Amino acid sequence: MTGKDPKSIIDEGAMGRAQWLAVLVTVGLNALDGFDVLSISFASPGIARDWGIDQATLGWVLSMELFGMAAGSLLLGGVADKVGRRPTILGCLIAMAVGMFGAARVHGVADLLPWRLLTGLGIGGTLAAINAAAAELSNRRWRNFAMALMVIGYPLGGVFGGLIVQKLLASAGWRTVFVFGAAATAAFLPLVWWLVPESVAFLDRRRAAGALEQINRTLARFGHAAASTLSAPQPQGERHSLADIFKPALLATTVLVTFAYFAHITSFYFIVKWVPKIVVDMGFAPQAAAGVLTWVSLGGATGGALFGLIATRIGLRPLTVCTLLAGALMITGFGRGAPSLDSLKSTLAITGLFTNAAIAGFYLLFAQVYGARRRGAGADHGRLSPQRGPCRPERGTDHGRRLVARGGGAVGAPGARCRLSVTSPCRTG
């Protein structure tokens, strides 16, 4: 490897132990994000009971960090491209820990909302940074696998966090959920500091003073030979921005992808945000509600893994359409009720499997529909959708009819997905 440029050394070299450790930290960070997003769902029954708030107000409580996530993904993703992945992750972890700790000490909705917004900003920025970090820390052979591991971390955070939350809620109040989240987030600060160096690709691209020396320290840590020079500078081409995906050649594709993703993610977040409150309203204990949500996450982790395996043998378009239709049917089925807690768990585990599998399909769709230069803009555009899911509890509507309506709304997603095959200028599988 001696004498090669840094990018070639990482791409063509073997994955060392230090590289795998860094990738595993990104998996843990994504799991942490998954738990932090669901923490308000776990706490919501206790919040509603203690403060006596109605469902419309609770909808804002459940949604606030999703607004922050959308802003954090768009704004802090750009920061990660300017100052680096590692400092962005560290800064976002601090914001998340402060937000979680602050949420544990509030005594009203007006006090809680800013802390949840701050937590969401940190989550959104972390998600953007670890996507880039996981890819850039891996070699060409193992990059897709490393990215798949990182993605599965999100629902796994809900699974393991949910198991812990059940015990916390059985012996203490909802505030302990946020205290635990703050402690877990703070625990990742030294892990990132010691185990996740700045990516070689970022340092090579930025070409700051002393970049080669810093790159060679990281290469030595990963067990690679030193680079003799930086990669050749990329030619200055046309600047690309979010507006590119609204140009005539991509406008129809962007509209259809946005509608399909919006319809599906609205239903998905409605489920993961409102399930604990719905289960408590059905007469079950808060810790039992947390257990039901854990099964949603377990199904989601399974669905994402299975989708990745099956997608290598079946076309992406028919597989995504099938998972969207199955998810819509399962959401509708849940809205019609279940006779027992075990039946609820089974129904929601299967719902989580199909809905999360469909999200995996959309992520692959973004990569196929948009060219490499527009891929980031397309993905960032999609991140704006999640904030809508839990924020619209219809007044005067019971939970069952509301979920049936959500399931019906999700049916629009596969229709748009099928139409995409006709209008997309790119090959979509």
Q: What is the pLDDT of residue 372?
A: 40
Average pLDDT over residues 218-226: 89
Average pLDDT over residues 304-326: 84
Cβ-proximal residues to 146 (8 Å cutoff; 6+ apart), any chain: 23, 134, 135, 137, 138
Percent of the chain with pLDDT over 70: 81
Range with the largest mean pLDDT of 65-79, 103-117, 282-296, 311-325: 103-117
Report whether pLDDT(286) > 70: yes
Q: What is the pLDDT of residues 66-96, one digit of tens each?
A: 889 888 887 887 788 888 999 999 999 999 9
Residue 395: Cβ-neighbour burial (10 angstroms; 0-12, 13-18, 19+): exposed
User: Computed over its alpha carbons, how large is the radius of gyration of the chain?
Assistant: 22
Q: What is the pLDDT of residue 235?
A: 62
Q: What does DSSP assign to residue 4? A: -
- The answer to whether the CB of 115 falls within 8 A of the CB of 200 is no
Report whether pLDDT(197) > 80: yes
Q: Which helix (H) or strand (E) holds 71?
A: helix 55-83
Residue type, 90: L
**Per the structure block, which two tokens stand in for 246?**
């609204």
> Which spans in 104-238 are helix H?
109-136, 143-171, 175-195, 200-206, 211-221
- The answer to whether the CB of 403 falls within 8 A of the CB of 335 is yes
**Per the structure block, which two tokens stand in for 207?**
């070409």
- pTM for the model: 0.76
Q: What is the pLDDT of residue 225?
A: 86
Q: How confident is the model at residue 5 (pLDDT cuts 50, 70, 90)?
A: confident
Looking up tokens 């690309």, which residue turns up? Answer: 240
Average pLDDT over residues 98-114: 95
Q: What is the pLDDT of residue 367?
A: 59
Average pLDDT over residues 386-393: 45
Q: What is the pLDDT of residue 392?
A: 42
| Neighbouring C-alpha atoms within 13 Å toward the C-beta of 210 | 3
Question: 3-state class of 5 per DSSP?
Answer: coil
Cα of 80 vs its chain's centroid, Å: 17
Report whether pLDDT(188) > 90: yes
Dist CA 302 CA 61 (whole Å): 29
Cα of 310 vs its chain's centroid, Å: 21
Q: How confident is the model at residue 39 (pLDDT cuts 50, 70, 90)?
A: very high
Report whether pLDDT(379) > 70: no
Q: How confident is the model at residue 429 (pLDDT cuts 50, 70, 90)?
A: very low
Report whether pLDDT(335) > 70: yes
Dist CA 172 CA 112 (whole Å): 19
- The answer to whether the CB of 116 falls within 8 A of the CB of 99 is yes
Report whether pLDDT(122) > 60: yes
Q: What does DSSP assign to residue 226? A: P
pLDDT, mean over the chain: 80
Report whether pLDDT(427) > 50: no
Dist CA 404 CA 330 (whole Å): 10
